Amino acid sequence: MSKKRSTAAAHARQRAAAERAAQMRAQQQKQERRRRLAVYAGVVVVAVALIALIVWAVTGDDKPTTPPDGATDTYGLAYGDPSAPLQVEIYEDFLCPACGAFEAEMGSDLTEAGDAGEVFVIFRPVAILDRASSTDYPTRAANALAVVLDAEGPEVAKTFHDLLYERQPTEGQAEHDDDALVAMAVEAGATESAVRPGIEDRAFEGWVDAATDAMADNGYESTPSVVVDGERIEGQTIADVADQLRARLGS
């Protein structure tokens, strides 16, 4: 082989080696760019997750506690004349059997006394028996009452309140679903389109939670708790409580 050919071959090998080196550098640069992008993407994902966690920690699972139109500032449904000589507050859970028994004993008497201007009644629905319900019925029923009060006013809400007790489910048995609550609200005088969304979406669930907290804050731990002019009526039985309340009503 001539010296000239040997030199050309050497140059060719050098060029090939340079090209391979360039390709390797390009590949390494490409891999480095991908690594940096992967790291950046990971940082972004972590940052987004942290932001979401911070937002959740700040807001928690809180729901609006805005009261329904027509509600009292003590989380209640008022019935009767505020200037009546007697005020009765009833903390009640719509799944509570004792509350149902009290309503059966005193519901009509309180309605008549309220209509006659003899008593101002504040029904204060709470939800302390969700743990005994497979569908959170106490919360759903109290929310439904708030929805009806907000949409249709206290008169329709009072009728709905009475229907909830008239058809109270037995604790541990089948409970009214949202369709049944809507149907009862309509029977009480509400317009379906006005109450169905709020009943299904639990629009006032936060208000019900706040009402339940307020009950505990006021020192009451059981339902029904019947308070007359700021003083709780104590009794061994529902009949005993009802008799004491009748005596206060003068009936």
Element spanning 77, H or E: strand 77-80
Q: Look at residue 26 in the predicted model and tell me its pLDDT.
A: 60
Q: Look at residue 41 in the predicted model and tell me its pLDDT.
A: 40
Amino acid identity at 245? L
Q: Look at residue 173 in the predicted model and tell me its pLDDT.
A: 80
The yes-or-no verdict on residue 34 having pLDDT over 60 is: no
pLDDT tens readout for residues 132-178: 999 999 999 999 999 999 999 999 999 999 999 999 998 778 899 99
The yes-or-no verdict on residue 203 having pLDDT over 90 is: yes
The yes-or-no verdict on residue 231 having pLDDT over 70 is: yes
Name the strands in the sheet holding 120-125, side by side, starting at the edge strand that comes first in the sequence.
77-80, 120-125, 87-92, 225-228, 231-232
Whether 67 maps to a domain, the answer reads: no
The yes-or-no verdict on residue 20 having pLDDT over 60 is: yes
Q: Look at residue 37 in the predicted model and tell me its pLDDT.
A: 44
Question: What's the rounded Cα separation, in Å, for the pair 27 and 7?
Answer: 30
Indicate whether 138 and 235 sit together in one domain. yes
Indicate whether 83 and 55 sit together in one domain. no
Whether 71 maps to a domain, the answer reads: no
pLDDT tens readout for residues 206-218: 999 999 999 999 9
Indicate whether 16 and 129 sit together in one domain. no
The yes-or-no verdict on residue 16 having pLDDT over 90 is: no
Closest CA to 249 of 223, 224, 228: 228
pLDDT tens readout for residues 90-130: 999 999 999 999 999 999 999 999 999 999 999 999 999 99
Please identify, among 15, 30, 60, the residue that sits at the C-terminal boundary of a domain. 60
- The CA-atom distances, in angstroms, between 23 and each of 18, 31, 152 are 9, 12, 77
Global pTM value: 0.76
Whether 70 maps to a domain, the answer reads: no
> What CATH number should be reported for the domain holding residue 204?
3.40.30.10
Question: What's the rounded Cα separation, in Å, for the pair 251 and 143?
Answer: 33
Whether 167 maps to a domain, the answer reads: yes
Q: Look at residue 14 in the predicted model and tell me its pLDDT.
A: 65
Q: Look at residue 59 in the predicted model and tell me its pLDDT.
A: 37
The yes-or-no verdict on residue 39 having pLDDT over 60 is: no
pLDDT tens readout for residues 57-87: 333 456 889 999 999 999 999 999 999 999 9
Task: pLDDT band for 49, please (50, 70, 90 cuts).
Answer: very low
Average pLDDT of the chain is: 85
Indicate whether 46 and 84 sit together in one domain. no
Indicate whether 118 and 224 sit together in one domain. yes
Domain that holds residue 100: 77-249
Q: Look at residue 35 in the predicted model and tell me its pLDDT.
A: 59
Q: Look at residue 43 in the predicted model and tell me its pLDDT.
A: 42
The yes-or-no verdict on residue 46 having pLDDT over 50 is: no
Question: What's the rounded Cα separation, in Å, for the pair 173 and 126?
Answer: 20
Q: How many other C-beta atoms lie within 10 A of the C-beta of residue 101?
A: 18
Q: Is 20 exposed, middle or buried (0-12, 13-18, 19+ CB in 10 A)?
A: exposed
